Amino acid sequence: MQIILKTDIAGLGFKNDTVEVKPGYGRNYLIPQGYAVMATDSNKKVVAENIRQAAHKAEKTKNDALAIAEAIGQLELKILAKAGESGKIFGRVTNTQVADALKEKGYDIDRKKITIDEAKVLGSYNAIVNLHKDVKQTIKFDVIAAE
């Protein structure tokens, strides 16, 4: 079954993409929740017109995302965490902590757009920030012991 997505759905596609899904997933979840519409000829024409009109706005959004990506790529973040004598931290570093550290530097980025590896010991790590569907930036952060 072909559908046209009305919003970005992780693992499936982005807004206005035409994707193939199983009929039950489309009929019982995506369409009733308002996440998609059937990919009929008339809906495809409407989406094509919307894409054409939104091209200028999308280019500006992408350029803004590129500017932010360039700026945050230069940052070195420090995140405080309570740690034991061996350097193992209590709990783990989360994307919320990285988002808060970015906010302190003046960049308000949603925590849901940040992906980090398991950070369970003190040291240096990388986080991937998904700013736009075409723009991803890797930022470095250090986990240091809180006194």
Is residue 73 scored above 90 in pLDDT? no
pTM: 0.63
pLDDT digits (tens, 9 = 90+) for 77-125: 999 989 888 888 888 888 999 999 999 988 899 989 999 988 888 999 9
Domain extent listing, the chain: 2-65, 69-145
Whether domain 69-145 has CATH 3.10.430.100: yes
Contact partners, residue 15, CB within 8 Å, separation at least 6 = 5, 6, 7, 8
What is d(CA 75, CA 97) in angstroms, rounded to the nearest whole number?
15
CA nearest neighbour of 29 among 5, 13, 45, 46 = 5
- Write down the CATH superfamily of domain 2-65: Ribosomal protein L9, N-terminal domain (3.40.5.10)
The beta strands (E) that lie in the chain are given as 2-5, 18-20, 36-38, 76-81, 114-116, 123-132, 135-145
pLDDT for 28 equals 96
